[in-house]
């Protein structure tokens, strides 16, 4: 079954839909996406170890969940859907910020996303779907920064790009997440 993404302009207004792989080819078309960062009560981030079979970023460590809302699907609704599909749980999430980024992700593919970033809290271990994630781990943001500085190739390009914004948003909302 082909998957589609919602193409948008720089203000996140829908301008069309496109098949997912085509939208990520040839430099990438700007499309709507989301990334979820789940923290526990100790302030640790749940990282996902992406399944090796993923169409890009396979085998890399990344934020808890990433995805694309379907045409007509609200971002938060899509976030809940993918949390369960990828990591086997659901929890309250709230949009922390949005940003636009573009980066090459390998295999001739690029991300060009209007990205909605959600934060949530969950105090148990997930049960990852092996088709999506080959594992998980909890890590402090300071330790994550150190690891990325030492071994950036182990982490997804999109997470490396926006980690500073995630840290800034966490500082602004430290009591909530």
At 58 the pLDDT is 84
- Does residue 64 carry a pLDDT above 90? yes
Q: What does the pLDDT average to over 49-54?
A: 92
- Does residue 83 carry a pLDDT above 70? yes
**pLDDT above 90: percentage of residues in the chain:** 86
- Contact between 158 and 119 (Cβ < 8 Å): no
66 catalytic, yes or no?
yes
Parse the chain into domains and list their residue ranges. Answer: 4-172
Catalytic choice (19, 73, 85, 113): 113
At 26 the pLDDT is 84
pLDDT digits (tens, 9 = 90+) for 136-163: 999 999 999 999 999 999 999 999 999 9
pTM for this prediction: 0.95
pLDDT digits (tens, 9 = 90+) for 101-110: 999 888 888 9
| Mean pLDDT score across all residues of the chain | 94
At 56 the pLDDT is 79
Distances (CA, A) of 64 to 15, 25, 35, 67, 156: 28, 24, 8, 11, 12
- Does residue 174 carry a pLDDT above 70? no
Q: What does the pLDDT average to over 33-47?
A: 97
Distances (CA, A) of 9 to 18, 72, 113, 171, 172: 14, 16, 10, 29, 28
At 27 the pLDDT is 84
Taking the CA atoms of residue 65, residue 174, residue 90 and residue 92 in that order, the dihedral angle to the nearest 10 degrees is -130
Q: What does the pLDDT average to over 111-136?
A: 97
- Does residue 13 carry a pLDDT above 90? yes
Q: Strand locations in the chain, DSSP E?
A: 4-8, 14-19, 31-39, 45-50, 61-62, 65-67, 93-106, 109-121, 133-139
Distance CA 166, CA 57 (A): 20
- Domain at 4-172, CATH homologous superfamily: Nucleoside Triphosphate Pyrophosphohydrolase (3.90.79.10)
- Does residue 175 carry a pLDDT above 60? no
At 177 the pLDDT is 60
Distance CA 66, CA 79 (A): 8
Catalytic choice (18, 66, 85, 132): 66
91 catalytic, yes or no?
no
């Amino acid at each position: 079954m082909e998957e589609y993404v919602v193409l948008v302009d720089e203000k996140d207004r829908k301008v069309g839909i496109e098949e997912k792989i085509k939208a990520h080819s040839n430099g990438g078309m700007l499309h709507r996406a989301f990334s979820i960062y789940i923290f526990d009560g100790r302030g640790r981030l749940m990282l996902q170890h992406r399944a090796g079979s993923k169409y890009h970023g396979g085998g890399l460590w990344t934020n808890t969940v990433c995805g694309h809302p379907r045409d007509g699907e609200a971002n938060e609704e899509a976030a809940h859907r993918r949390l369960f599909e990828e990591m086997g749980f659901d929890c309250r999430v709230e949009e922390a910020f949005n940003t636009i980024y573009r980066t090459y992700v390998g295999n001739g593919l690029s991300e060009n996303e209007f990205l909605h970033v959600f934060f949530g809290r969950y105090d148990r271990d997930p049960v990852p779907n092996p088709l999506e994630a080959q594992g998980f781990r909890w890590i402090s943001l300071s330790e994550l920064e150190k690891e990325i500085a030492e071994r950036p190739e182990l982490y997804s390009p999109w997470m490396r790009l926006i980690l500073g914004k995630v840290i800034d948003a966490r500082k602004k909302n430290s009591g909530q997440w």
